[in-house]
């Protein structure tokens, strides 16, 4: 076995001085890098599973990657069986959260209509519904007339119908950050904000800890939950993870008295536009199909105007409505829109023992708790009962970044090739 010197000390692990140096450093049973919703809930599940000293490190403030800026859409209507399982697990988690912790992420079931505009959409929906039914999901097809009754705010004139699932709903993302931070604090998870991980301490192919800009932290188990920065983070250990980053934008209209506060949520997949009720108006979010990957925080006002007009076509009450809030942020994604969760492996396929990857592929609100549960299970026990994870690891990607898994067709953002964050 080869030993790499600990960069922080410059001393090789076999050297006795290494042991002395290690003794002076901090120790944890598990270090989680990233205090977003994935790392946050993962640390909670690890503590609940009996892991004693759990330490979460974040280069910024907890939640201030993507997690606090999300739209909060939670959908069980996935396009693949794995996506359905992750959605079901997550909705069950949110539904039981208040009873379990006395604090919640604000989840409410509103029902979600994925709109169909022609025969092709209708056929694709039929195939999806059959797959979802086989997974036990109570989703169904609704004809335009029934949709008009369920969701009077949607103009059904040019629709052939929609798929609908009453289980789907929304959380409040800032409240979710408050919820996991509160539970972390209560369970004694140690959180280090404004602490950047700059390297991994490796003993051959075994992880021994992380190096940070405030000194090393030793741990035999490390989870990387770096959100859209996961590619850059994993590269510190020589692991290539095709997690990309791209702009995603959300806006909230001024109050719309004719739209019910519990109105059904809607998704115009082809346009990349979705909406849900928020603050007496509608929250709507989108990805631009032509947007080049990369980190982005600024609003593309021309495209925002196109989406505002599109919303007005589908929800006439929103036509001409003013905007109360708008924000753009960077969202994570993977080439097949499915999470990357599993052991870290080098491009040669060698497993880095003790190092686990966990990212939710741009679906951290609707799948985050499920991905966190899987990540904690794998990091602590090497196995999970949440779903079949045999194809969710980084090894499913070919050297060019494409996946061996079928892409989830019900997903945003659009770019199908991950551009690693520089
Ligand atoms: C505008 C917008 C709307 C969205 N809407 C939805 C939605 O409706 N539904 C849905 O399911 N998903 C939505 N998403 C996606 C969702 O927000 C993300 O998938 C989710 O937040 C990812 O969680 P995370 O914990 O993996 O990452 P993050 O929340 O980004 O957290 C990762 C953390 O890792 C830290 N980090 C990275 N590198 C290092 C390092 N070297 N050292 C220390 N710390 C590091 C970062 O500082 C960050 O805090 C949306 C995203 C955006 C941007």
Q: What is the pLDDT of residue 245?
A: 93
The domain boundary, picked from 332, 358, 376, lies at 332
Q: What is the pLDDT of residue 422?
A: 30
Shortest CA distance to 406 belongs to which of 137, 128, 122? 128
Which residue's CA is minimally distant from atom 20 of ligand 1?
364
Shortest CA distance to 69 belongs to which of 332, 277, 308? 332
Q: Are 179 and 103 in contact (CB under 8 A)?
A: yes
Q: What is the pLDDT of residue 401?
A: 85
Phi and psi (nearest 5°) for 5? -65, 145
Pairing of strands 108-109, 161-165: unpaired
Do residue 276 and residue 365 come from a single domain? Answer: no
Do residue 224 and residue 257 come from a single domain? Answer: no
Which residue's CA is minimally distant from atom 21 of ligand 1?
67
Do residue 276 and residue 312 come from a single domain? Answer: yes
Residue linked to tokens 């004693």:
52
Q: Which atom of ligand 1 is nearest to the CA of 285?
A: 3
Instruction: Give dist(CA 284, CA 265) in Å, integer.
Output: 10
Do residue 366 and residue 261 come from a single domain? Answer: no
3-state secondary structure of 111: coil
Pocket test for ligand 1, best of 32, 67, 249 (most atoms within 8 A of CB): 67
Distances (CA, A) of 225 to 123, 169, 360: 37, 25, 9
* Beta-carbon contacts of residue 181 (< 8 Å; ≥ 6 apart): 35, 40, 62, 63, 191
* Beta-carbon contacts of residue 19 (< 8 Å; ≥ 6 apart): none
Q: Are 408 and 80 in contact (CB under 8 A)?
A: yes
Do residue 142 and residue 267 come from a single domain? Answer: yes
Query: In this structure, what CATH number is given to the domain that contains residue 122?
Result: 3.30.9.10
The domain boundary, picked from 281, 305, 332, lies at 332
- 401: buried, middle or exposed (CB in 10 Å: 19+, 13-18, 0-12)? middle
Q: What is the pLDDT of residue 135?
A: 98
Do residue 123 and residue 177 come from a single domain? Answer: no
Instruction: Give dist(CA 240, CA 96) in Å, integer.
Output: 36
Q: What is the pLDDT of residue 161?
A: 98
3-state secondary structure of 270: coil
Do residue 151 and residue 187 come from a single domain? Answer: no
Do residue 181 and residue 55 come from a single domain? Answer: yes
Roughly how many angstroms between the first and final C-alpha of the chain, as a whole number?
A: 31
Do residue 204 and residue 288 come from a single domain? Answer: no
Query: In this structure, what CATH number is given to the domain that contains residue 217?
Result: 3.50.50.60
Q: Which atom of ligand 1 is nearest to the CA of 358?
A: 26
Give me the domain span that covers residue 281. 108-170+245-332
Output the pTM of the full model: 0.94
Pocket test for ligand 1, best of 209, 277, 362 (most atoms within 8 A of CB): 362
Do residue 411 and residue 304 come from a single domain? Answer: no
Do residue 356 and residue 382 come from a single domain? Answer: yes
Number of domains in the chain: 2
Instruction: Give dist(CA 237, CA 199) in Å, integer.
Output: 7
Do residue 116 and residue 178 come from a single domain? Answer: no
The domain boundary, picked from 314, 332, 350, lies at 332
- Sequential pLDDT tens for the chain (422 residues): 233 444 444 555 555 555 665 666 799 999 999 999 999 999 999 999 999 999 999 999 999 999 999 999 999 999 999 999 999 999 999 999 999 999 999 999 999 999 999 999 999 999 999 999 999 999 999 999 999 999 999 999 999 999 999 999 999 999 999 999 999 999 999 999 999 999 999 999 999 999 999 999 999 999 999 999 999 999 999 999 999 999 999 999 999 999 999 999 999 998 999 999 999 999 999 999 888 899 988 999 999 999 999 999 999 999 999 999 999 999 999 999 999 999 999 999 999 999 999 999 999 999 999 999 999 999 999 999 999 999 999 999 998 888 999 999 998 776 654 443 33
């Amino acid at each position: 076995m080869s030993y790499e010197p600990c960069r922080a000390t410059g001393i090789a692990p076999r050297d006795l001085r290494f042991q002395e140096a290690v003794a002076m450093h901090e120790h944890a049973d598990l270090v989680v890098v990233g205090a977003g919703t994935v790392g946050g809930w993962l640390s909670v599940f690890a503590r609940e599973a009996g892991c004693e000293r759990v330490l979460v490190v974040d280069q910024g403030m907890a939640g201030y990657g993507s997690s606090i800026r999300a739209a909060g859409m939670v959908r069980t209507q996935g396009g693949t069986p794995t996506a359905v399982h992750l959605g079901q697990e997550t909705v069950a988690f949110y539904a039981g959260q208040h009873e379990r912790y006395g604090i919640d992420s604000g989840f409410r079931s509103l029902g979600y209509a994925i709109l169909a505009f022609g025969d092709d959409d209708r056929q694709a929906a039929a195939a999806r519904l059959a797959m979802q039914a086989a997974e036990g999901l109570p989703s169904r097809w609704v004809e335009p007339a029934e949709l008009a009754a369920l969701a009077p705010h949607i103009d059904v004139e040019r629709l052939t119908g929609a798929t609908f699932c009453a289980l789907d709903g929304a959380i409040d993302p800032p409240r979710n950050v408050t919820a996991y931070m509160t539970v972390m604090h209560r369970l004694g998870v140690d959180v280090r904000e404004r602490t950047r991980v700059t390297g991994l301490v490796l003993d051959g192919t075994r992880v021994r800890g992380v190096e940070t800009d405030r000194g090393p932290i030793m741990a035999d188990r490390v989870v990387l939950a770096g959100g859209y920065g996961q590619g850059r983070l994993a590269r510190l250990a020589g692991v290539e993870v095709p997690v990309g980053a791209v702009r995603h934008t959300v806006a909230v209209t001024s109050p719309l008295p004719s739209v019910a506060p519990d109105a059904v949520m809607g998704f115009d997949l082809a346009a990349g536009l979705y909406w849900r009720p928020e603050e007496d108006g509608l929250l709507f979010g989108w990805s631009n199909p032509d947007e080049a990957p990369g980190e982005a925080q600024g609003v593309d006002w021309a495209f925002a105007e196109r989406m505002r007009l599109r919303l007005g076509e589908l929800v006439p009450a929103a036509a001409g409505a003013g905007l109360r809030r708008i924000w753009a942020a960077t969202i994570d994604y993977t080439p097949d829109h499915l999470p990357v969760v599993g052991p870290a492996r080098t491009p040669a396929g060698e497993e880095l023992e003790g190092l686990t990857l966990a990212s939710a592929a741009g679906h951290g609100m609707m799948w985050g708790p499920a991905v966190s549960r899987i990540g904690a299970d794998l990091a602590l026990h090497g196995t999970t009962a949440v779903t079949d994870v045999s194809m969710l690891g980084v090894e499913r990607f070919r050297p060019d970044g494409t996946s061996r898994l079928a892409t989830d067709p019900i997903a945003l953002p659009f770019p199908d090739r991950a551009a690693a964050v520089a």
